[in-house]
Amino acid sequence: MAKGDDAVRRKKNKAQRKKLNRKSDSSTVSARVASIIAAKKRRKAGKRRICQGMCFSLPTPDDPFNERLDKKDVRRREPQKSKPSKLDRKVSAKRKDSVATKGSVLGHNAALKDEQKKSVSLINNMGKSRHIDSGKMEIQQDGKKVGLHGNQEQACKSSDFPSKYLILCLKAIEDTLYPDGTYNGEEGNRLFVNPWGIEFWKCYSAGKDILETSGSSSDFEQIAWIASTAADVISRREKEGHLFTGPFLLFIVPSKEKALKVRSLCKPLKAQGIHTVSLHPGASIDHQINGLQSCEPEFLVSTPERLLELVSLKAIDISVVSMLVIDGMESASGGCYLDTVKSVRQAISGKPHTLVFFNSFNNAYVPAVQSLLTGLVYRLSLNDSVASQSAGIIQSIHVCSSKEERTMKGIQALDNAYSNQIIARHLKVLYVVGKDNNIQKLVSAVKFKGYSISISSYLNSMESGNSLDCGGRMRPTVSIIDTENISCTDLGEYSVVIIPDFVLSIDDYLQILTRMARHTVNGVLHSFLTKDDSWHAGPLIEILEQCGQEVAEELRNL
């Protein structure tokens, strides 16, 4: 039996009163519930969005008043299980530990499936054979948040291989620079399988500063990986709700030409919301000030002199930079360039994640690098040369007249390292002696100066605790090993190595030089020779010249 008009009106008025009551309590409704209510109102009012075009049907002769549409289904619905996308199903079928596509911008791009698989296999296969010493530092699987101004916590969430968004950025750079596909001719040269880029991504993910010692300036592949990694970190942090009030990446270059090259490689990322601005003396400073006022760039590429001018005029704020890349250490301006770079670094607050291209093995640049990288670092190089692997390590070779003088100068070298405030922060000292040498005099001399001793069990089971100096500072423990234990000792943790009696072969000397001080730029290798060791002088001079270090006149005379 049909209802009367009065009953229908009473029911409608009751529903309207309920709606008015709910409006008064709208502040207690969550955003999700409010969106559902708004969508329902639009649907009943006939105002539809594009995605709601088929949300309800039109009246029909069987149901002219659309009464069946408003009938609620009282049956309880089962919760709908989320179904993986086609890309997830295909990737998981090939590899069980594939990355989930939740929140990924590449979930719709099936063209990158093969590239992701190839990059995964390359990363898993290449990480074991590259010349990078990660030491005992491990990447936590759950990742850590990073402050907006620093990198000393986790740089980005840890995973087994780069994200799909990072690969998308690499592909955007590659496709823009080579639209005709010429770069795709050789499969081994694709950007996303570049060996240097993969090693850089691993080092950056570990959250430490990086010293690049290949011996050359940044090239096309390296710039592409740096920019893509920075864009990936920006994307991650924005998803976490972070806001950036200044440039994220600051790329210091020595010249206008280099600035334009870096900007051209970063320009394809504009489609991903990453804006790059280059600052150099080739343009008027007023034009650059107007450009900085009209946009807020995520990447800033600049020469240090022009950047300091703009900072002094308060046209740009670089105090919140999170990633700093320094290129051009061999610049023709020499000391002026390095001093300006130091001033730029002082204008940045906090601890930005720093990458330095140490493309000159000259000892004159070592102090500048030490002032830029004050903490623990990763050494990144795919170059196997002695000069590359030992970059930043000072070789100090002394010629002595007697054995007593060798011992005394060795203790002096130890005292100098301990008194150096920069080196003393992470000071670990190692003495390398001959197996048949009587080390009792050496141990007595070191103990007399207040240092504790740790001797390899192959020599004697002898170890004493740490000691304090008169100022209350903890003196470092001095480790002693013999020449036979060089290959089985972790030399990377020792920043100072002293060879009081040169009983080594040149191969052992090179092994120490290329394996020591892997996590610092303050490494020093002291060697002491007498006239009896003159047959070592020639090879040592050759090594010093190859590494760009000074050769003492007394060593040449020897």
- Whole-number Å distance between alpha carbons of 433 and 456: 11
- Distance between CA 61 and CA 484 in Å, rounded? 98
At 186 the three-state DSSP class reads coil
- Is residue 324 within 8 A of residue 352, CB to CB? The reply is yes
412 or 41: which leads in pLDDT: 412
Quickly tell me which residue has 């990377």 as its tokens. Answer: 492
- Per-residue pLDDT of 101-138, as tens digits, reads 333 333 334 444 454 444 444 444 444 433 444 333 34
Q: Yes or no: say if 318 and 355 are a contact pair by the CB < 8 Å rule.
A: no
Mean pLDDT of 407-423: 79
Determine the pLDDT at residue 173: 92
CA 462 – CA 532 distance, rounded (Å): 31
SS3 for 423?
helix
Mean pLDDT along residues 439-456: 81
Indicate the SS3 state at residue 233.
Answer: helix
The confidence score (pLDDT) of residue 66 equals 64
- pLDDT, one tens digit per residue, over 524-547 is 999 998 888 888 889 999 999 988
Q: Over range 271-288, report the average pLDDT.
A: 92
Beta bridge partners of 376: none
Q: Give me the half-sphere count of Cα atoms (radius 13 Å) on the Cβ side of residue 169.
A: 27
DSSP 332: T
Beta carbons within 8 Å of 365's beta carbon, 6+ residues apart? 329, 330, 338, 358
Q: How far apart are the first and last CA of the chain?
A: 120
Considering only CA atoms, give the Rg of the chain. Answer: 32
* CA max distance for the chain: 122
Quote the pLDDT of residue 21.
Answer: 77
Residue type, 459: L
pLDDT digits (tens, 9 = 90+) for 82-94: 454 443 444 344 4
Closest CA relative to residue 407, chosen from 370, 378, 444: 444
Q: Output the pLDDT for position 67.
A: 65
pLDDT at residue number 356: 93
What is the pLDDT, as a whole number, of residue 302?
94
Query: Going edge to edge, which strands form the sheet with 477-482?
Result: 394-399, 524-529, 496-499, 429-433, 477-482, 452-455, 462-463
**What's the CA angle centered on 423, arms 333 and 346, to 5 degrees?**
45
- Dist. CA 238–CA 490, nearest whole Å: 40
Residue 285's pLDDT band (cuts 50, 70, 90): very high
Which pair of structure tokens corresponds to residue 28? Answer: 């207690």
H/E segment holding residue 481: strand 477-482
**Residue bearing tokens 């890309």:** 87
Tell me the three state secondary structure of residue 386.
helix
Find, among 78, 120, 79, the residue nearest to 98 by Cα: 120
The domain segmentation of the chain, as residue ranges, is 164-176+191-383, 390-459+474-557
Q: For the chain, what is the mean pLDDT?
A: 76
Do the two domains 164-176+191-383 and 390-459+474-557 of this chain adopt the same fold? yes
Lowest mean pLDDT among 65-79, 179-193, 480-494: 65-79
CATH of domain 390-459+474-557: 3.40.50.300
Higher pLDDT, 63 or 14: 14
User: The domain at 164-176+191-383 falls in which architecture?
Assistant: 3-Layer(aba) Sandwich (3.40)
Q: Which residue has the higher pLDDT, 445 or 53?
A: 445
What is the Cα–Cα distance from 157 to 137, expressed in whole angstroms? 16
How confident is residue 558, by pLDDT bands cut at 50, 70 and 90?
confident
Whole-prediction pTM = 0.68
The mean pLDDT value for 149-167 works out to 63
Better-predicted residue by pLDDT, 311 or 466:
311
- Say what the pLDDT of residue 264 is: 93
pLDDT at position 474 is 62
